[in-house]
A and B are shown apart, each in its own frame.
Chain A
């Protein structure tokens, strides 16, 4: 399998404070990779650098062979980023929102097919024609995930994808992520939910104060630390 994402000694400073201290890792094509860590560990900053939203202070990031610093527009053609707690344009209906987003990727019949796929993924029934400001948090998240996945990106970057959702919505969204990974899309996600990461991710990277402390599959990490759950791995790594 080829590398979908390669981070090489990536550092990010805000003023004089270094938030990410030289992360090096690679993610294989079709893999679901989870970034875990406590608040302020550098997860969102790392995802934003991969998504071309933040500039890298030093090091390099390659997405399907394209450098985020020198070829950001090529990178944006193959990625899809879903920020934590993201929203949509409140005056649009769910359908209009998907139509607006699809226009940036395709035109004509291909665009129509993309919109149909988005509507199917959102699975909002008649509510797809309601204004998004009437949506519940779960409905909004479904719409945004549909938006992120409908262009069939090569790399989907999802920040706290099920944060604040109820059990049913979280379950259904995890199912969607599994399905897209099965179709060959690489997924890099962050989460505070260790159960979710354990269940979904092929590999996990644990960030602590901007450092990538350990990387491995959930099974490997549990075995390495002699514990039963990923949560215990997390506590052992962070608290020592």
Chain B
């Protein structure tokens, strides 16, 4: 067995401890479960709400020709149209009697968090407004009151109130169309009167990568792309920080135990030691990376299914193919090697395990900057100066690569990879040089330049 293989095997064995493997497995399981959990919450929140209705019994609108309109009947039909069997509607739409009781007590009793109450003059006021002699000055308001119970149900808690709000809007539209039809001489042109301008659907096109697509807006596409890719920068930041921390700590530990001194006096080339450490850590980093990606696939799969804006990215040519995933993996591997290059340099200055922990700070900052920029404004939406800063940080490139590959921006992806190769080579050369210097043994305190700076 040659020396390099021997070093790689030793390093992999040290880095892949049962503890570190267990933590990665737990993280993967957490990601997978989290996706399912969020997806379930969203589905639950955006599903049919349980709604209470009061004050509808004596509030049926009766028009001059005898046509009747009742809010409860309209809502009941809406639930049935949404797929609820007629016999089960009562589970969702609960008729409520308030009387003199406190609203909070009533809602608790009926186990509802949303309640609509028709004003006592609701039907009377509408019937009054529909009289032929009613003028604009005589118009009366027909009010439906909405009551909600605020419960700390997390970020998706507001979704059910939005659905109730939509139901009330639907009631309004439904009654409005009935009243307009009754007010005009030619009811068959109602649909024209309601929507005299035709737009949307096939009349709306958004050009994506040079190809026009019907019925989608840039906002909907951006929302879908953002939902699909938002976890990538976080995952890459976690991997960089985790691998970096492991490598710097391992260096600190080697110094503390003086195993590094022993290693450096063995008949092995310094380049073999440096290469062995970097290769082993890169292998471990890639294993972690792929494990996280695997977890993320479940996470995104569960979450995007429920949070989707309805835009099919594959149809728009914005999904990633196998080739794209291969490029993304390579980009991630190069970013890990760059991170390791930085870690080996930082680790060379660590005195012991404890001081090595603080050495991870610059790496964490470097990993967080592109994560925040890419998550919140994205590469394409950032100012030139920010783009320059993000490009200079090697870990940005796999974070940017996902969207760049979606938009077929291979120039950005490939130039990023070339930059990372150059960056990695430079850091490895610096590391080899450091391994041949006294700094590895004596630390920075004995360095001439540092001594001068300290004195100043």
Interface residue ranges, A against B (CB under 8 Å): 14-16, 48, 51-55, 73, 76-77, 79-92, 100-101, 103-105, 107, 144, 147
Contact = CB atoms under 8 A, between A and B. Distances in A.
A105 B438 CA distance: 25
A16 B266 contact: no
A18 to B, nearest CB: 12
B448 A86 contact: no
Contact of A104 (B3, B13, B261, B448): B3
Nearest to A86: B258
B266 A104 contact: yes
Interface string B6-20: 100010011001000
A87 B258 contact: yes
Interface residues of B, number: 29
Contacts of A77: 267
Nearest to B261: A83
B141 to A, nearest CB: 77
B441 A54 contact: yes
A86 B257 contact: yes
B53 to A, nearest CB: 67
Nearest to A79: B265
B261 A53 contact: yes
A54 B448 CA distance: 15
B6 A103 contact: yes
A134 to B, nearest CB: 15
Interface centre among B13, B261, B452, by most A CB within 10 Å?
B261
A147 B262 CA distance: 10
Contacts of B429: none
B269 interface: yes
Interface in B249-266: 256-259, 261-262, 264-266
23 contacts: A14-B451, A15-B446, A15-B452, A51-B261, A53-B264, A53-B441, A76-B265, A76-B266, A77-B267, A80-B265, A81-B261, A81-B265, A82-B262, A85-B258, A86-B257, A86-B258, A89-B10, A91-B17, A100-B10, A104-B6, A104-B266, A104-B267, A147-B262
A88 B6 contact: no
B447 interface: yes
Nearest to B254: A89
A100 B6 contact: yes
Nearest to A157: B265
- Among all A-B residue pairs, the 7 with the closest Cβ atoms: A87-B257, A14-B446, A15-B451, A81-B265, A86-B258, A15-B448, A83-B258
A149 to B, nearest CB: 13
Contacts of B268: 76, 104
B265 A88 contact: no
Nearest to A45: B442
B447 A88 contact: no
Nearest to A53: B441
B15 to A, nearest CB: 10
A100 B9 CA distance: 9
B385 interface: no
B451 A16 contact: yes
A80 B261 CA distance: 11
Given A14-B442, A87-B259, A103-B1, A53 B267 contact: no
B37 to A, nearest CB: 35
A155 to B, nearest CB: 11
Contacts of A76: 265-268
A91 B14 contact: yes
B81 interface: no
Contact of A53 (B10, B265, B446, B450): B265
Contacts of B267: 73, 76-77, 104-105
Contact of B437 (A51, A55, A86, A100): A55
Given A85-B258, A86-B257, A52 B265 contact: yes
A15 B265 contact: no
A55 B3 CA distance: 24
Nearest to A100: B10
Nearest to A49: B438
Contact of A88 (B3, B259, B450): B259
Contacts of A79: 265
Nearest to A87: B257
Interface in B37-87: none
Contacts of B1: 103, 107
Contact of A81 (B3, B262, B446, B452): B262
Nearest to B268: A104
A239 to B, nearest CB: 28
A89 B261 contact: no
Contact of B442 (A54, A85, A103): A54
Contacts of B256: 87
A144 B258 CA distance: 11
A103 B10 CA distance: 11
Given A86-B257, A91-B17, A51 B446 contact: no
A14 B454 CA distance: 14
A65 to B, nearest CB: 16
Contacts of B450: 15
